[in-house]
Amino acid sequence: MQLTWFGHSAFRIDIDGASILIDPFLSGNPSYEGTVEAASDGVTHVLLTHGHDDHLGDAIDICKATGAQLTGNFEICMWIASKGIENVNPMNTGGTVDVGPFKVSLTVAHHSSSTQSEGQPPVYLGNPHGIVVTAPGEPVLFHMGDTDIFSDMALIDEIYAPKVGIVPIGDRFTMGARTAAMACTRFFNFETIVPCHYGTFPIIDQDAEKFVSELGPDGDKVAVPQVGKPMSL
């Protein structure tokens, strides 16, 4: 498995038979200096945790350009289908779908989900989710999405046993360093922890140093990503 961070919560996962984008917030992302075309080259699947614009990002344009299948909750998929995207794969909390090279599962996340056009009221896009990616021969990956800590994270670990955790740490809109570290150490048995949702905008935390410190002895599990630089897991 090769994992590439594009800043914020946007990741690319390359595995045998599939190239996956999660929450492809690329254009307008202050952390990403590349092009949408470069990040999405060869992409086969787009997965969305929720509908906020800093996660929905360029999903529609990417799906139009590449024909990639979009998987997300029912409301997001129906809204995106109304924009002319036919290859949608709707699901919802607790479900698992087999898309061929891998399986996708949606978990609970404590956040909100909507999109908004200028001058218009927000459009509700269903509940927010975390995403579990399970592929043969690869470590199970859990992208938490945007969330607070919650005790049922223990059930997520019991059910899916993820070994790679992509964890929001930036505070204000998600967990901050202390609660994110608590979530990782109390509820999960991650082998690799990848922080995200920080450093993008001035109003959220700017680096992962406090998070690593809060993890204590588990700090050596953290793989602090560099924007645009693939890491092998």
182-204 confidence digits (pLDDT tens) = 999 999 999 999 999 999 999 99
Region class of 200: left (phi > 0), else alpha (psi between -120 and 50), else beta:
alpha
Question: What is the reported pLDDT for 204?
Answer: 98
Question: What is the reported pLDDT for 233?
Answer: 94
- Residue 160 parent element (H or E): helix 153-160
Angstrom CA distances, 10 to 20, 47, 188, 189, stand at 11, 10, 22, 23
CB atoms within 10 A of CB 17: 12
> Does domain 2-225 match CATH 3.90.1580.10?
no
Give CA–CA dist 48/11, Å, rounded.
11
Laid out side by side, the sheet with 45-47 consists of 88-91, 69-73, 45-47, 18-22, 11-15, 2-5, 231-232
- Whole-model pTM: value is 0.98
Question: What is the reported pLDDT for 28?
Answer: 95
Q: How far apart are the first and last CA of the chain?
A: 5
The structure tokens listed for 44 are 């086969």
Regions of the chain with pLDDT less than 70:
none
Structural domain boundaries of the chain?
Answer: 2-225
